[in-house]
Amino acid sequence: MTVDDRPLDTAPEAQRAQIDLFRRMTAVDKLRCIRDLSLAADTVALAGLRSRHPHLDRPELLLRLAVLRYGRDIVTRVYGEQPADGT
């Protein structure tokens, strides 16, 4: 990682500490971190969908999340359906 890659809101010492921490993590710890971040992203995405479409049930919200993630074509091929209103 170069200085140009460092986030502008992160001090160089903090960046070095973070990189050192990641290097010391086991593969299992890294996978747990990825899982936790993925679940957090899903939670935020579902909350956004729910706020925009409060009338929809959970299966429909999850279908919309899949469309956001994978695209309409893949969701249609895999699940055989699209969100109810075509969005």
Give the domain range for residue 43: 27-87
The reported pTM is 0.71
Domain count, the chain: 1
22-31, pLDDT tens digit by residue? 999 999 999 9
Q: Which residues, including other chains, have CB under 8 Å from residue 53's CB and lie 6 or more apart?
A: 60, 61, 64
Decide if 1 is inside a domain. no
End-to-end Cα distance, the chain: 39
In a domain, 34, yes or no: yes
Q: Is the residue at 46 inside a domain? A: yes
61 is a domain residue: yes
| Tens-digit pLDDT profile for residues 30-81 | 999 999 999 999 999 999 999 999 999 999 999 999 999 999 999 999 988 7
In a domain, 20, yes or no: no
Q: Is 6 part of a structural domain of the chain?
A: no
Residue 59 lies in a domain: yes
